[in-house]
Amino acid sequence: MEKSDGGRLTRSLGLRHVFALSTGAMLSSGLFLLPSLAVSKAGPAAVLAYLLAGCMAVPAMLSVSELATALPKAGGAYYFLERALGPAVGTVAGFGTWLSLVLKDAFAMVGMSAYLVLIVDVDATALALVLIALFTTVNVLGSKASASVQLSLVVVVVSIMGWFIVDGLWETVDRGFDGSNLDPFFTTGGSGVFAVVGLVFVSYGGLTKVASAAEEVQDPSHRIPLGMALSLATATALYTLGVLVTVAVVPVDVLHGDLAPIHTAAEAVLPRVGVWLVVVAALAAFSSAVNAGILAAARYPMAMARDGLLPSKAGGLSRSGTPVVGVVATGAAIAVVVVALDAEAIAKLASAFVLLTLGLVNLAVLVLRASEIPSYAPSFRSPLYPWMQLAGIGISGYLILQLGFTPLLFVAAVTAVGWTWHHLYATPRTDRAGAIRHVFRRWGREADDSLAREISAAMAGHGLRDRDDYAGLIARAVVLSIPKGADIGEAADRASTVLSDRIGVPTEEVTERFLETGSLWIQPSDDHPTATPVALFDVLDGDQLVIVRATSGIRIPAAWGGSGELVNALFFLAGTTDDPGRSLRLAGELAGFLHSGARACGQATTEEEVKTSLLPGRTVRQYALLPEGLDAGLIGRRIGDLGLPEEAEVAAVTRFGVVVPVDDDLVLEADDQVTMVGPEESMPAPGEPAPLG
């Protein structure tokens, strides 16, 4: 999780890291502390409560997966909710999500101190306060566990717990159902089980934390949904089987009030070294969860400050680049919770806020789908929409009610405070509206079109997938120039004329579509600023690009998504409505190159040089296949038989003005225009014949 030279986060996290981040955020107090509280409420049937809670987390997992692949931005649930439901709900969600993390961390601190007192004979509360100060200091200084360290911790926890579960299940089978502590299984009836489901739901609250790292995940559209699904399955299995073993080998009355229940159960089934390894696993899990929890929670005040929902000082960074105000506020809040509340109260309040956040996440998917914003193009779409989201909202509401009056009152109080704060403080400082305004537009209410551009930009930051043909897009591009004094209208008309011929849509309609879409990114530069308008069309199968250059500059008015900026080139990208995500990823890749390499594009004197400037490390060569020309030898040959140099390829073929699909079986004909792309060292100089084997 490094930063690139340009200050943007590098996509360095693979599937194993996504799995580790999500799993590591779940396996702490829910496994090592909470079972004793759950068993005291539901008896051995607490096993079912954990299993049901895992199943009930599926709608939220699917919704977060969809949102993360549509809006791969740091910020997680707060970012999703603020952009979907607006600043008012975003303020409430920001406070609520921050509090849920504070409460989860406080719960983990209670558990960590309970396991540490098995080693050190000190007061548990005093020890918890010392540990809070330690983790707060670490985060202020800027230290944090890397994804690789997180992966190692998860491997340790899963391995040790696997040993505990296997030996425990073997012991349970030997005892038999009658000889274990599982009989009677239901001690409080079905209603007691469902009441405990709400209590243990906090165990799965870390599932969605990986969404806040979406900017750093390679191919997030595939790896985030898969990683979260594997994580939820693993956590559900460990929770269910771990609690089953615990209640089977330890009498229920012994578990009551035990803050280290897994340690007590390990003493019944594992050798001495195994018991101490369980303590090690618990401490590793608590350390990972608390440190990552403080780090994540501290980012919420910072994100809200940047959006104008909190004073700007809350978003300030220390010399080491950490949000020091957020870190200190989070650490102080955790300390207050640990001192003021007992373990059960903390668990109930934490579950209430986790359930509230996940319910709102499901609502966000409903709103974004209903808004019909063209740039909302998640690569993963939740199945069974909208019933899955409606079920998730219903589950959250029902389980919050099951937690009792106090958590419900606390949620209501935080909601009222957040709503009041927004209207008194944030309303005069924000002019942004959520996607819900796009739903209201059908009822005559105004929509915030800037949101469509922001979602487009977020999607463009997704990074390319293997099937995204960026080289082909550049190779197929048409390069035009407009005279001095021309405005953006003339640039759009010329680009639309070319695209009209290629896609069979009237010129005026093409221009209107670019204006309607409102997706445009401006890449500022001291010597060659550029802009990339994007529009989507039903009739297109492949993406098309027209580059319009103007050395004297073109001003971008508000109607085109600008604010009067002057640019030297416009890159009109026509994408397809069948796969808008691909089109936006290609636009993002193009914008990324223009952010740092616009000078080469501005200094280019030929079409080949323009295209080469947009493909760093590669060279573009174009060949006209005339019967009497230097490249006549290509006529009549299959592309697959050309024997091009290593890593060189035929990226585009234009025949009578029409771009034809390129594959190995395509036979080249006279008058074809062939564009090849390859490494600079293996491509011939301009004017020389094509490189053939």
169-178 pLDDT per residue, tens = 888 888 776 6
What was the pLDDT predicted at 8? 44
- Taking only the tens place, the pLDDT of each residue in 475-505 is 889 999 888 777 888 888 999 999 988 888 8
Structural tokens at position 324 = 């020091």
Structural tokens at position 254 = 């012994």
What was the pLDDT predicted at 75? 60
Q: pLDDT > 70: what percent of the chain?
A: 84
Res. 450 pLDDT band, cuts 50 70 90? low
Residue 144 has pLDDT above 70, yes or no: no
**Residue of 9, 14, 69, 58 whose CA lies nearest to 207:** 58
**Span of 116-130, 219-233, 446-460 with lowest mean pLDDT:** 446-460
Specify the 3-state DSSP secondary structure of 515.
helix
Measured N-to-C along each axis, helices 220-249 and 46-56 cross at an angle, to the nearest 10 degrees, of 170
What was the pLDDT predicted at 7? 39
Res. 404 pLDDT band, cuts 50 70 90? confident
- Taking only the tens place, the pLDDT of each residue in 254-290 is 888 888 899 999 998 889 998 999 888 888 888 877 8
Q: CA end-to-end span of the chain, whole Å?
A: 43
Structural tokens at position 273 = 């070294």
Residue 546 has pLDDT above 90, yes or no: yes
Which letter does DSSP use for residue 186 in this model? -
**Residue of 91, 92, 94, 102 whose CA lies nearest to 415:** 92
- 638 phi/psi in degrees, rounded to 5: -75, 145
Residue 130 has pLDDT above 80, yes or no: yes
**Strand runs labelled E in 231-328:** none
Better pLDDT: 149 or 345:
345
- 341 phi/psi in degrees, rounded to 5: -125, 155
**Residue of 560, 395, 401, 430 whose CA lies nearest to 491:** 560
Res. 4 pLDDT band, cuts 50 70 90? very low
Whole-model pTM: value is 0.70
Cα dihedral 394/397/400/401 (nearest 10): -100
In terms of average pLDDT, the best of 298-307, 439-448, 599-608 is 599-608
Sheet holding 519-523, edge to edge: 478-481, 544-556, 565-576, 530-537, 519-523
Beta strand pairing call for 530-537 and 565-576: parallel
Residue 179 has pLDDT above 90, yes or no: no
Estimate to the nearest angstrom the gap between the alpha carbon of 14 and the chain centroid.
Answer: 13
Structural tokens at position 563 = 């604010």
Structural tokens at position 288 = 């990972």
Helix (H) or strand (E) holding 659: strand 658-660
Beta strand pairing call for 544-556 and 478-481: parallel
In terms of average pLDDT, the best of 187-196, 450-459, 595-604, 609-618 is 609-618
Cα dihedral 334/338/340/341 (nearest 10): 110
Q: Which domains does the chain have, with CATH numbers?
A: 15-425 (1.20.1740.10), 464-613 (3.40.930.10), 619-682 (3.30.70.1450)
What was the pLDDT predicted at 667? 92
Residue 558 has pLDDT above 50, yes or no: yes
Cα distance between residue 67 and residue 90, in whole Å: 15
Better pLDDT: 503 or 13:
503
Peptide bond into 35 cis (omega under 30): no
Res. 199 pLDDT band, cuts 50 70 90? confident
Res. 1 pLDDT band, cuts 50 70 90? very low
Average of pLDDT values for 83-104?
Answer: 82
Specify the 3-state DSSP secondary structure of 39.
helix
Query: Which residue matches tokens 């409903």?
Result: 366
Res. 62 pLDDT band, cuts 50 70 90? very high
